[in-house]
Amino acid sequence: MAVDMKELTALCKRRGFIFQSSEIYGGINGFWDYGPYGVELKNAIKQFWWREIVHTRPDVVGQDASIIMHPTVWKASGHEDGFTDPMVDCRDCKSRFRADQLEEPGKCGSCGSRNMTEVRKFNLMLSTSVGANAESSTTAYLRPETAQAIFVNFKTIQKTSRKKLPFGIAQIGKAFRNEITPRNFTFRSREFEQMEMQYFIDPEDKVDHFSNWAELRKGFFTKLGFPLEKLRFKDHGQELAHYAKRAMDIEFEFPFGWQEVEGIHDRGDFDLTQHAQFAGENMEYFDEDSKRKFVPHVVETSIGADRVTLAVLCEAYSVENLGTEAEPDLRTVLRFKAHIAPVQVAVLPLMKKLSEPAEALERELNAQGFRTEFDVTGQIGKRYRRYDEIGTPYCVTFDFESLEDQAVTVRFRDSMEQVRIPISGLSEWLRKEIHQSMLPSL
């Protein structure tokens, strides 16, 4: 069944995943908040990215730079002059559009009027002022991407980490863009998080690092649960941004069409050369083996944390009819992989009377590092459905027999099958299951 974005958005709000920012004031367009389950999901995805990109790789290190940087950074990077989208207004209904997103150029997407303004360039950077005195304060930008902080810090990090080329620097952080038309839930927001990695290489290196990273990034998506047929790897060919020599988008089939989730770019030596020039700082690297000095080239992988979280939600969302056509019994399930599920294990006593030993078991699993919840309210069937809806892969039911045989029933979210597992081996069993869920789904 095709995913209905309205229903998914409603579920996200109802179950505390994602909702509008400043909701009690009527919201603010392009800004979103993550509630208790949403933040767990997004954190788990970010941590998994960090593990894959930084922790498992001896050649990549992390950083966390400030959002506001020296204003000249954005001159050097080309953002101050060139980070624009084409904007057009309807003179009749006053709606505003990104010119390249209109279905028919020159025709209003709201009222159909052809009375449109000329296309103008609109800079997407959001500005603020820094400093306490009006006279001496400086205009600064909220970064539109995290990448520049990595280029600016390249030398310092290379020296302090003593890494030799090729090596990468990764960062997760907020970015801000004054998008003309934020839309499709969190897909295009004005405040969002990016997970970026810049891999610095010797331009004479014969290894095809671009293709290697593209292949690795494909693996990341399948480990998050995306089937390959829902992904598209689109080479930009000759259509390239000012900084890029080669570019590829990883696209996902959202309910509103194929859209970019991640970009992989060969940025050449563009950024380091620009910063060398604007800051008057030498950005060259000395290669001890070949005794050569050069400005490294860069392969970048850039993915939106919110955008990939939305893709995960779309892929996981399903509504099944367990009844008949005449008497439908609809079950809403979020089929997250166990390693990213906001709640991995729900421990449910069959009856209130069994709360004490059941809660002790939940605390024990929690201490073992699983994301757990204990829930005693309502009939057991209703509780299962509640946990299906937030994507909990394992419900552990503690019943009267558990007191006798020291075993519990584990119900699987996806198949709804149940197995009996001894309490003594439960934690080990869950660990294996969750570990398995990290394998690619093909």
Cβ nearer to ligand ATP, comparing 85 with 269: 85
Minimum gap (Å) between residue 177 Cβ and ligand ATP: 5
Q: Minimal distance in Å, beta carbon 329 to ligand ATP?
A: 37
Least distance (Å) from ligand ATP to the CB of residue 32? 10
Comparing CB distances to ligand ATP, the nearer of 158 and 189 is 189
Nearer to ligand ATP, 217 or 383 (CB): 217
Q: Which is nearer to ligand ATP, 85 or 399 (CB)?
A: 85
Closer by beta carbon to ligand ATP, 262 or else 269: 262
The residue ranges that bind ligand ATP (CB under 6 A) are 145, 177, 179, 188-189, 192, 194, 260-263, 302-304, 306-307
Shortest Cβ 260–ligand ATP spacing (Å): 5
Three-state secondary structure along the chain? CCCCHHHHHHHHHHCCCEEECCHHHCCCCCCEEECHHHHHHHHHHHHHHHHHHHHCCCCEEECCCCCECCCHHHHHCCHHHHCEEEEEEECCCCCEEEHHHCCCCCCCCCCCCCCECCCEEEECCEEEEECCCCCCCEEEEECCCCHHHHHHCHHHHHHHHCCCCCEEEEEEEEEECCCCCCECCCCECCEEEEEEEEEEECCCCCCCHHHHHHHHHHHHHHHCCCCHHHEEEEECCCCCCCCCCEEEEEEEEECCEEEEEEEEEEEECHHHHHHHHHHCCCCCEEECCCCEEECCEEEEEEEEHHHHHHHHHHHHEEEEECCCCCCCCEEEEECCCCCCCCCCEEEEECCHHHHHHHHHHHHHHHHCCCCEEECCCCCHHHHHHHHHHCCCCEEEEECHHHHHHCEEEEEECCCCCEEEEEHHHHHHHHHHHHHHCCCCCC
| Residue whose CB is less far from ligand ATP, 33 or 260 | 260
CB of 187 to ligand ATP, least distance (A): 6
Least Å from the CB of residue 86 to ligand ATP: 12
Residue, CB closest to ligand ATP: 304
- Judged by beta carbon, residue 194 or residue 402, the one nearer ligand ATP is 194
Q: Least distance (Å) from ligand ATP to the CB of residue 394? A: 31
